[in-house]
Structure 1
């Protein structure tokens, strides 16, 4: 079986403060095609038409999706999971299909393998049940990292991801470094995809040791 997959960022995430008590934010939404079709992070509940239209551009319908992965359970990452009625759903550490729930030891560090080129790994920090998706592609390994990374700029300015909320900053720093060492590209939760350089890996490794 050809296990090579492709990642397509349907929509770049964003986040910005509008005032002291209001912000605008939405998550990156990413399609993985290959032996299995996977959608990662389904935006807010107001974005169903956006997702349907984004998939249609790639000749895919919601019924063609085999897996939905929500990197964590915040509302801007799970808003349209119910579009995908035939898929198995992975929301953080929870795996389900209809009313059946499958116990999986993400909390013990186990990876969930969808196929030889796509796996879901535990990356706690932003939330304690946060996961990331690693995809083998022609351009290298792509990590769809949810809010483990807020956006590219948070590497130089870690206050960005800390201010976005972190249930365990120590684990988040370690997992940010871990994912950067595994990936050639990162799709962050609230910004465009970026390439991982040795300079980035060194910066994150230093931050993880602080």
Structure 2
């Protein structure tokens, strides 16, 4: 019997809430990808996830952005309120706004939007959040377009708060992909992984869509080693169970 992992779906339809402290994770919209016809077309949209500080109050006022921030202060300020990981495509605008409102979050209350990568089905509604800081792939900017250097790499995550980090997880869209890791939830560490995983049991199909399969395989193994729950780009969240199994799922 070899050592590996197995996975199982996290039950429930979106929104799927995972309480925690100091952050809770809410999968607002479940991504999907469905073949259309015989020519390789896909009808798709990306998952959208909300990371909420437990101290934040619904419809609460946002804090003031630092006037002349250093990068770490700006990152921590951005992580102090509601953090949205991906926005879905522009066609999901109304569903996204309704899902946020159901949790007491107005677009102007969002302090940070993380785009795991630059594809339109993951960052197609960035324009709904003009007051938020943006971290899209490896670009970090404050409202108004002030870009800050940060040094994110596979060996150097960005810290947004206690147990809340952005990881460099390259592969799917090239070298700039990122994931968000949230420790301390009721289910352990949740990693919102964008398209590092298309879905649970995506087998080798992700290779066909990957710009750098070698780097993506490295990112997948890193996520599986750290995560108790993974939110993939185009499917429901799933648990990662680390125990001896006959054959590793991945």
Determine if the TM-score, normalized by the shorter chain, exceeds 0.5.
Answer: yes
> For 1:98-124, what per-residue CA distance to the aligned partner results, in whole angstroms no more than 9, with x for missing partners?
221111222463211111121100000
Does residue 182 of structure 2 align to residue 182 of structure 1? no
> For 1:27-58, what per-residue CA distance to the aligned partner results, in whole angstroms no more than 9, with x for missing partners?
00001100431001101112211111000110
The answer for the alignment partner of 1:110 in structure 2 is: 156
Alpha-carbon distance in structure 2 between the residues aligned to 1:200 and 1:39? 35
Map 1:192-203 → 2, pairs under 5 A = 192-198=236-242, 203=248
Map 1:1-210 → 2, pairs under 5 A = 4-21=22-39, 22-34=41-53, 35-97=80-142, 98-107=144-153, 109-127=155-173, 128-136=175-183, 137-154=185-202, 157-158=203-204, 160-163=205-208, 165-198=209-242, 203=248
| Unpaired runs of at least 5, structure 2 | 1-19, 54-79
Higher relative contact order, structure no. (Cα contacts within 8 Å, ≥ 6 residues apart): 2
Q: Which runs of 4+ in 1 moved over 6 A?
A: none
How many residues are matched? 200
Q: Secondary structure at the match of 1:42?
A: coil
> For 1:55-99, what per-residue CA distance to the aligned partner results, in whole angstroms no more than 9, with x for missing partners?
011011111111100000011111111111221100001111222
RMSD across aligned positions (CA) = 1.9
- Greater per-residue helix proportion: 1
Alpha-carbon distance in structure 2 between the residues aligned to 1:53 and 1:82? 16
| Unpaired runs of at least 5, structure 1 | none
The answer for the alignment partner of 2:10 in structure 1 is: none
Deviation of the 1:203 alpha carbon: 2.9
